[in-house]
Amino acid sequence: MRLDKFLKVSRLIKRRTVANEVSDTGRVYVNGNPAKASKQLKEGDEIEIKYANRNVSVKVLKIPSSNVSVQEAPTLYELIET
């Protein structure tokens, strides 16, 4: 699954267009490397998102095949650091 789609489906970022913009400006890292929105994710990848006043790091636990409900979204990742 693409990075921008995962960020939206997991509700780490509310809209896919915003996830695209954040990725393309170099504020999202996958496994320590800057990642573009088209980066293909797999289970076990670590994502770090640099916001203006904080950083969020998560580990991908599972990749959904389609959209998930609000209740299921937190089960897609494990919060490492905020």
Per the structure, the complete domain to which residue 11 belongs is given by 3-81
Entry pTM = 0.89
Q: What is the DSSP track for 21-82? A: HHHHTT-EEETTEE--TTPBP-TT-EEEEE-SS-EEEEEE----SS---TTTGGGGEEEEE-
Go through the chain and tell me how many residues it has. Answer: 82
Indicate which CATH number applies to the domain containing 73: 3.10.290.10
Render pLDDT for 69-80 as a digit per residue (tens, 0 to 9): 888 988 999 999
pLDDT of residue 82: 66
Domain count, the chain: 1
Render pLDDT for 18-77 as a digit per residue (tens, 0 to 9): 999 999 999 999 999 999 999 999 999 999 999 888 899 999 999 988 888 888 988 999
Distance CA 71, CA 53 (A): 27
Mean pLDDT along residues 4-28: 92
**Of 50, 30, 56, 29, which is closest to residue 41 (Cα–Cα)?**
30
